[in-house]
Chains A and B, each alone.
Chain A
Amino acid sequence: MAAISPQTTFQGDIFSAPLVHTDKNLLACVEPDYKPFIPANSLRRMTRVLKIGLTTALQCINGSGVETIGPIVTGTGKGSLQDTEKFIREIEQYKETALNPTPFIQSTYNSVNGLIALQVKGTAYNNTFVHRGFSFENALLDSMMLLAEGAPNTLTGAFEEITAEHFYIKSRIGFWKDAPTDNRALYETLTPGSIAGEGATFFLLTGTPAPNSKAALTGFKMLYKPAEAKLAAALAEMAAGADLVLTGRNGDSRYEHYYQQLDTLLPGIPQLPFKHLCGEHDTAGAFGMWLGAQILHAQQVPAQWFPMLKDIPATAGKILLYNHFYGEQHAIMVLERV
């Protein structure tokens, strides 16, 4: 697995990497040098999300030990916003004539998948899910079904970018906090809105544990706008045996009550929030899954990333991950050591 995120997650040791912080209400990715991954002639044409998506996927493949990649399945809420914005701006600027093909081609959601397939010469099943807060989760579900049907492996991931324009549009509908909020203090004051984020996360999934496996996904549920009782029942059922909870808490007072259910349902089980690390975005759940797998594999929590917590668990054997996107798409996962 691999991740490019607003934290230093792509290279180096995450257990010693300091917490990246800002009070801009927008967490942007720490970008690596792309040249070792992407030929210069291709790189010049790519916008940011294509670069982070492709590079993360290639790093994931490199670290997996797998030689032949099976289906490529991804999720994204918005795809390449930079290309979309450029293309739309040029339609207006040039009165619907003399339009560059590149931003249009790359604005399609499946561009990252196409680039990955071209680079690794992958001709298997290739699909991108675009379902807002369920984009990554649907990619994951599809991957699980492909594995159950006999696929040797799947390259499964998510990618998202935030642009200045999109940040502004979403601020108009109350996605972000009004006051500048340092991500280290995200959970201190509950007010409407959260902080924006972005990132790319990829996993090489197999149906049974392999020598390089980092963790196992042993439970998975998606609930769309669930009644609180239904959500509570699902959380209680899936939490059995969990010794750590990863939550998508994001400091938004309007939807905090969903996460507060965990406090009463699972008293005494430590909770780690992760949105101060990656920011809120449609596919933030993929970052949560990556973090959970890192903790399970290393049997260590990157404690320096949680300065707001007094008691940080040393390790975990079974993790319950609960995340929702603005109260609509709720995802529950169970991750275990392998």
Chain B
Amino acid sequence: MEELKSKLKAQIIEALNLQDTKPEDIDDNAPLFGEGLGLDSIDSLELMVLLERQYHIKVEDPREGRKILQSVQSMADFIQSKQPA
């Protein structure tokens, strides 16, 4: 799980071009939107694309997306839940 979260942080930084942010600056449980990283609605679409490209997971329901994209922890939990056992 720790490895997945660390990888995910690096992928988020690259996908969203967060130039002055390092993976260690992102708290696992900090909100990605509003406070925390201060991402916006376009970023949420970019993160959906990230999940699809990097983890082959398509989020069909936008309401589900809100919960998944709350934090790095919630994204990692979701990815892990979709991995084959």
Contact surface of A with B, Cβ cutoff 8 Å: 40-41, 44-45, 94, 97-102, 105
- Shortest CB distance A107–B (Å): 14
- Shortest CB distance A114–B (Å): 13
B46 touches A102 (CB 8 A): yes
> Considering only CB atoms and an 8 Å cut-off, how many residues of chain B contact the other chain?
13
A102 touches B52 (CB 8 A): no
- Shortest CB distance B65–A (Å): 14
A44 touches B49 (CB 8 A): no
Q: How far is the CA of A29 from the CA of B39 in the complex (A)?
A: 30
* A45-B42, A102-B42 as given contacts; A97 in contact with B52, CB under 8 Å: yes
The residue in chain A whose Cβ has the minimal distance to the Cβ of B17 is A44
- How many residue pairs bridge A and B at CB < 8 Å? 27
Task: Determine whether B34 belongs to the interface, using a CB cutoff of 8 Å to chain A.
Answer: no
B45 touches A101 (CB 8 A): yes
Q: Is the interface of A mostly helix, strand, loop or mixed?
A: loop
Q: How far is the CA of A97 from the CA of B58 in the complex (A)?
A: 10
B28-62 at interface with A (beta carbon < 8 Å)? 38, 40, 42, 45-46, 49, 52-53
Partner of B20, one of A40, A45, A102, A105: A40
> Which B residues are CB-close (under 8 A) to A45?
16-17, 42
Q: How far is the CA of A325 from the CA of B40 in the complex (A)?
A: 41
Task: Determine whether B19 belongs to the interface, using a CB cutoff of 8 Å to chain A.
Answer: yes
